[in-house]
Structure 1
Amino acid sequence: MIETKWNRGDWVIYRKQKTSTSPGQRASNVHPATKGDLYHYTVDKFWIVDSVLDDGQIELCTRRGKKNTVDASDPMLRKANWWQRLIHRGRYQAIMSQ
Structure 2
Amino acid sequence: MGQTEWNCGDWVIYRKQKSSTSPGQRASNVHPASKGDLYHYTVDKYWIVEKLLDSGEVQLCTRRGKRHRVSSNDPMLRRANWWQRLLNRRRYEAIETTELPANSP
Asked if these proteins are the same fold (TM beyond 0.5), I'd say: yes
TM-score band by shorter chain is over 0.9
What corresponds to 1:97 in structure 2? 97
- Unpaired runs of at least 5, structure 1: none
**Is contact 2:4–2:73 with CA below 8 Å preserved after alignment?**
no
Q: How many Å separate the matches in 2 of 1:92 and 1:39? A: 28
Give yes or no for contact 2:50–2:59 (8 Å, CA) kept in 1.
yes
Instruction: Give the counterpart letter for 2:69 in structure 1.
Output: T
Distance change >3 Å, CA 36–CA 50, structure 1 → 2: same
Instruction: Give the residue type in structure 2 aligned to 1:81.
Output: N
Q: What is the TM-score of this pair, normalised by structure 1? A: 0.96
> Which segments of 5 or more consecutive residues in structure 2 lack a partner in the other structure?
99-105
| Percent identity between the two aligned chains | 72
Q: Paired residue for 1:26?
A: 26
Match of 1:75 in 2: 75
Aligned pair count? 96
**TM-score, length-normalised on structure 2?**
0.89
Runs of 4+ in 1 over 2 A off after TM superposition: none
Match in the other structure for 1:60: 60
Question: Once the 2 structures are TM-superposed, how far is the Cα of residue 4 of structure 1 from its aligned partner?
Answer: 5.9
Distance in 2, Cα, partners of 1:7 & 1:28: 28
Amino acid at match of 1:57: E
Please, what is the CA RMSD of the aligned residues?
A: 1.1
Give the whole-Å Cα distance in 1 for the aligned partners of 2:80 and 2:4: 16
Counterpart of 1:65 in 2: which secondary structure? coil
